[in-house]
Amino acid sequence: MIFKRALSPTVLAGLAVWGGALALYLATLAPSLTWGYDDTGVDGGELLAAANTFGVPHPPGYPTYTLLLRLFATVVPIGDFAHRGNLMSAVLGSVSVALLYVVILQFARFLRPEGAEVVRIGSAAVGATLFAAAPLFWAQAVMTEVYTLNTVFVGALLLIATLLVTRREHLPARRTRQAMALFGLLLGLGLGNHLTLLAVAVPLLVWIGVRIGWRSVASAWSVGALALGLGIYVYLPISAARNPPVNWGGADTLGGIAWMLTGRAYQDYLFGAPLRSIPGQIVDLIALVFTQLNPLGIFLGLTALAPLWARDRWFLAMSLLSIVALGGYSLSFFTVDSEVITIPAFMLFSLWAGIGFQWVASALSDWVNGLSFRKLGALPARLPALGLVLIAIAALPAASVALNYGAQDLRNDTRALEYARGVMELVPDGSTVLSTEEGPAFSMWYMGYVEASDRDVLPVAVPLLQFEWYWANLREAYPSRVPPEVATDLGVAVRRFIEHNSGSSGIYMTYRDFSLSERFEVTPLGGVYEIRSRRAE
């Protein structure tokens, strides 16, 4: 019986969707350290360095991701450490697609229990593959970043909530408590990866509360499990107390924990967009929607409004609330990579697209059944629905793959790795390397703390010198190379580093600072600039 169920068309189609997504991501996977498509993956070097050294990456610290990456890289010894991080993203991305398939399948059964199973399978496959081939998500699945793990949590919470609501009449109280406990645990762990998970989780909790009762939502089981999941943040002070090389915020103090969890370092980016740029950003967001879903996908998603309004208006309202919240947050967050915040919104819209496809295919099948030649048998009546399934399954992801494969293919992308290796080869042991941009800085972190950890090279991220905790970290690890007095003005800080190390150890910069030319000798050396004090010569 179990074997027969495992070979059912429903399961086989799900495996095909999962396997197809994984194959796509593996075929375009970055081989090692990468800055990603359009340089949107520059955080990868920092995340890898933090995981390799059990450190604390940038706020909010990502304890769930950091520990999982270290575990995955240890258990799956394929390629270098960066390749393993990229591989983990591909695996998590394919799991997210599989979870979405199951969610859409369950919704299809709930919305149209009398419908044909082939249409349900097609609906789930259409929605899941539409999301799998969306360029924004695809780009995250081929490099080291936190967003595919975030979509795993989104998919898991969606699945639990969907099963609780759509099967509420058949679930005993014990199973409901267990499901809510699992929801709470995954929510807590998911918030240890990315706080934007709240934009999906809170509306889902409202949906669950309205449909099955608020007592289940606020039970001791769910609240206790949530607290247990949030306990993952204990990692931050434990790790920070060790003073690892990557150690943001001084999280071993109450002030440091508050700084990390509130994301104080990025508060200037929130609502930082000038008002005159808002219309342009809205136009860009609309364009992003079309590039991710294409017109057919958008049509199918909007078509879902009718069946959802008729069958479950609360889910329609809550999923719409999540989409709007994520889109609004992306608009207000004034950074070059703010688009990635919308990925869970596209996951929800892909769910809508699957539902919309079921509605269209079922309506077409019903229309054919009503024609005069219906006496010819059941097969002709199902052919239009089956044909639509095959066409849509092939057209939606195939079009996205064909249009975006070249841009998303990182198989030969070795820019970041070659850059960091080149710098490391140029500078001698005992040197200090100053970088002002995230790409070079985090690449040097990866090289210095992972790939070439045996080298005695201090990589300094100049923008972090505005924080006293960063000075303290550097001074504890490299007491002889860090000036004794803190200077939070970046220009002053750079000059003090140069003056402090002149004559005793080499100091290099990955960028050209023309303001230094009058007081210091600046010598280009390949990809870096050697800095020497003129007074020392």
Report whether 469 contacts 256 (CB < 8 A): yes
Nearest to 143 by CA among 81, 82, 197: 82
Q: What is the DSSP secondary-structure string of 224-250?
A: HHHHHHHGGGGHHHHHHHT--SSBGGG
CA separation for the pair 493, 462 (Å, rounded): 8
Residue 80, pLDDT > 60, answer yes
The per-residue pLDDT for range 316-370, each reduced to its tens digit, is 999 999 999 998 888 776 565 678 999 999 999 999 999 999 988 887 776 666 6
Q: Is 427 left (phi over 0), alpha (psi -120 to 50) or beta?
A: beta
Closest to 95 measured CA to CA, from 15, 158, 40, 197:
15
pLDDT of residue 403: 87
Give the tens place of pLDDT for each residue, 93-122. Answer: 999 999 999 999 999 999 988 888 888 998
Helical segments of 427-477, H only: 438-446, 468-477
Euclidean distance between the first and the last CA atom of the chain, given in angstroms as a whole number: 84
Q: For residue range 240-271, list pLDDT tens digits in order.
A: 999 999 999 999 999 999 999 887 666 665 55
* Angle formed by the axes of helices 343-369 and 81-111, nearest 10°: 40
User: Which residues are CB-neighbours of 480 under 8 A, at least 6 positions away?
Assistant: 504, 505
Q: What is the pLDDT of residue 390?
A: 61
393 band by pLDDT with thresholds 50, 70 and 90: low
Q: By C-alpha distance, which of 523, 525, 518, 474 is closest to 500?
A: 474
Per-residue pLDDT at 449: 95
Phi and psi of 445, rounded to 5°?
A: -60, -45
Residues 6 or more apart in contact with residue 31 via CB below 8 angstroms? 79, 83, 86, 410, 411, 412, 413, 414
Per the DSSP assignment, residues forming a β-bridge with 507 are 432, 531
C-alpha span between 400 and 345 (Å, rounded): 18
Q: What is the pLDDT of residue 382?
A: 55
Mean pLDDT (whole number) for 29-44: 92
Task: Flag whether the pTM goes above 0.95.
Answer: no
Point out which residues pair with 509 in neighbouring strands: 434, 529
- In terms of average pLDDT, the best of 112-116, 211-215, 384-388 is 211-215
Q: What is the mean pLDDT of residues 469-490?
A: 90
pLDDT of 282 > 80? The answer is no
